[in-house]
Amino acid sequence: MEQILFRHNKPNRCVTFDEYRAEGGFSALAKALKELSPDQVQQAVIDSGLRGRGGAGFPTGKKWSFLARNVPGPRWLICNSDEMEPGTYKDRTLLEANPYLLLEGIALTSYAIGVSHAFIFIRRGYEQAAANLRRGVAECRQAGLVGENILGSGFSCEIDVHVSAGRYICGEETALMNALEGKRANPRSKPPFPAIKGLWGGPTVVNNVESLSNIPAIISNGAEWFKAFGRIPEAAGTKLFCVSGHVSTCACFELPMGISLGEIIEGPCNGMRPDSRFKACLPGGASTPYFTEEHWNVPMDFDAVAKAGSRLGTGGIVVFDQNTCMVAATLNLVRFYARESCGWCTPCREGLPYVVNLLEEIENGRGSEEYIAILRDHINLLKYAFCALALGAMGPVEGLLKHFQDEVREHIAKGKCPFKK
């Protein structure tokens, strides 16, 4: 299959600046600066149907169009590379193989939305990716692709690489802006949305690494070309699916948007491990409700996955086999979220440890029917938390109660975990 994001990848090493340029890299930027107006770049992205790859799937071009116009002072672009969702490693894979696509995407986006300073907010721990980006920015600066008067066009854009202090909440776009401003990383209330009042009060676009890395190909090849990658009519482009768990081959694959879950597992993942049978998976990262065998043929696209009761999220697929205790798996995930709660709002700060406690009791055979009812209440209650962290934390709990209620009840009836020998 023709690829968009992994097109320049080399085996076991990062592509070099010279290779990327020799293979047509930065020609989309040159083309845009010479032939296209910022509005034309924006329109191409709107027409392409590209939806944000950071989790929520919001249409990228539409998000750009919300940016406040004619306001005094600077406007900003932030590339979100915080990637701390358990089971998600697509941005790291991309940046370790090729930082230039992102840098070109950032320059194009900055041109389209009138930004002269962009930040890449990268997770602490992604040392190799951050080093690639820093080296890439320096190479681009030397070649006149970053900084003042890019390619003699009169357009200028600085790119800064900022290493996060390292908490999951820093990936939430408003908490991220607080972190960049040097403040405590708690989320801000929305509205005002970042497009109106974001970083240092200026209009701001926040986009994910994978979203921005798609922009050069869209500008080079056009919206229709991009759309044609989708497996089903409403799906556009490719998607990075990073797979882990009980499959034979765990890796990050670039596949057509809308490919079915079963095709991913039977195809590039080479099926389940020997002696493993598919039981369930997180289809889009740790905050998405489980899929089971009945979802084998669901197209992995934002709308189709939502219609089937979950979320495409980040495309981080975690596969569980028949020997997995789904209560224990869910407990493990919610423990992560409880630990990562920023503590800013009460429902999340107090609610998640309470949910952990309920799940621990069930897992250890000390639960009751009432616990199931309380867990159900908390799925609703935590929708009222300040940001989407707690909502996401309850995704697996929702899946557990929807698809594995019998397993939960077995823990209660037996007074112990049926998976423990």
Ligand X SMILES: Cc1cc2nc3c(=O)[nH]c(=O)nc-3n(C[C@H](O)[C@H](O)[C@H](O)COP(=O)(O)O)c2cc1C
Residue 82, φ and ψ in degrees, nearest 5: -80, -35
Taking the complex as a whole, the smallest distance from the CB of residue 347 to ligand X amounts, in Å, to: 14
| Bridge pairing between strands 117-122 and 278-282 | unpaired
- Per CB under 6 A, the list member of 54, 99, 216, 285 interacting with ligand X is 54
Interacting span for ligand X (CB under 6 A) from 19-27, 131-139, 166-174, 302-310 = 166-174
Is 301 near ligand X (CB under 6 A)? Answer: no
Is 58 near ligand X (CB under 6 A)? Answer: yes
Q: Tokens 């994001």, residue?
A: 5
Interacting span for ligand X (CB under 6 A) from 14-22, 55-63, 277-285, 398-406 = 55-63
Count of residues that interact with ligand X, criterion CB under 6 A: 24
Taking the complex as a whole, the smallest distance from the CB of residue 27 to ligand X amounts, in Å, to: 23
Taking the complex as a whole, the smallest distance from the CB of residue 302 to ligand X amounts, in Å, to: 11
Exposure of 308 in the CB half-sphere (CA atoms within 13 A)? 26
- Per CB under 6 A, the list member of 28, 44, 67, 84 interacting with ligand X is 84
When the beta carbons of 98 and 207 are compared against ligand X, the nearer one is 207
Interacting span for ligand X (CB under 6 A) from 64-72, 77-85, 154-162, 413-421 = 77-85
Interacting span for ligand X (CB under 6 A) from 16-24, 344-352, 383-391, 406-414 = 383-391
Q: Tokens 């609610």, residue?
A: 351
x/- map, 176-215, ligand X, by CB under 6 A: ------------------------------xxx--x----
Task: Tokens for 283, please give them.
Answer: 């289809």
What CA–CA distance (Å, rounded) separates 31 from 219?
8
When the beta carbons of 215 and 372 are compared against ligand X, the nearer one is 215
Query: Nearest 5 degrees, angle CA 144-CA 150-CA 153?
Result: 135
Interacting span for ligand X (CB under 6 A) from 69-77, 147-155, 168-176, 397-405 = 168-176
Task: Tokens for 43, please give them.
Answer: 């329109």
Taking the complex as a whole, the smallest distance from the CB of residue 383 to ligand X amounts, in Å, to: 13
Interacting span for ligand X (CB under 6 A) from 8-16, 244-252, 321-329, 386-394 = 386-394
When the beta carbons of 173 and 363 are compared against ligand X, the nearer one is 173
- Per CB under 6 A, the list member of 41, 104, 110, 172 interacting with ligand X is 172
Interacting span for ligand X (CB under 6 A) from 64-72, 82-90, 318-326, 361-369 = 82-90
Taking the complex as a whole, the smallest distance from the CB of residue 116 to ligand X amounts, in Å, to: 20
- Per CB under 6 A, the list member of 86, 171, 284, 396 interacting with ligand X is 171
When the beta carbons of 56 and 328 are compared against ligand X, the nearer one is 56
What CA–CA distance (Å, rounded) separates 8 from 3?
9
Is 56 near ligand X (CB under 6 A)? Answer: yes
x/- map, 7-46, ligand X, by CB under 6 A: ----------------------------------------
The binding site for ligand X (CB under 6 A) comprises 52-56, 58, 60, 63, 80, 82-84, 168-169, 171-173, 206-208, 211, 387-389
